[in-house]
Amino acid sequence: MNSDIFHVRFPNLGWTFTINRVALQIGDFKIYWYGVIIMTGMLLAVIYAYKSAKRYNVDRSKLFNCVLVGLVGGVIGARLYFCIFRWDYYSKHLGEIFAIHEGGLAIYGGIIGALLAGLAVAKFQKMKFMPILDISMMGFLLGQGIGRWGNFMNQEAFGTPTDLPWAMMSEGTGGVAVHPCFLYESLWCLLGFGLIHFYSKYRQRYAGEVFYMYLVWYGFERMIVEGLRTDSLYLPFQIAGFDVRVSQVLSALLFIIGIILLIKNRKKEDSFYANYRRKKSVGTGKRKSKA
| pLDDT for residue 283 | 59
Alpha helices in the chain (DSSP H): 33-52, 60-84, 87-90, 107-124, 129-154, 181-202, 209-225, 246-264, 271-283
| pLDDT for residue 45 | 93
Nearest to 108 by CA among 86, 80, 70, 145: 80
Nearest to 75 by CA among 24, 112, 43, 21: 112
pLDDT of 102 over the 70 cut: no
Could you report the per-residue pLDDT of 250-276, keeping only the tens digit for each?
A: 999 999 999 999 999 988 877 666 666
Of 2-16, 25-39, 84-98, minimum mean pLDDT range: 84-98
| The amino acid at 48 | Y
CA distance 46 to 143: 9
pLDDT of 291 over the 80 cut: no
CA distance 11 to 245: 30
| pTM of the full structure | 0.86
pLDDT of 229 over the 80 cut: yes
Of 117-121, 154-158, 217-221, minimum mean pLDDT range: 154-158
Average pLDDT for 164-188: 95
Residue 237 or residue 38, greater confidence = 38
DSSP code, position 239: E
pLDDT of 1 over the 60 cut: no
pLDDT of 289 over the 60 cut: no
Residue 133 sits at φ, ψ, to 5 deg, of -65, -40
Nearest to 34 by CA among 172, 158, 150: 150
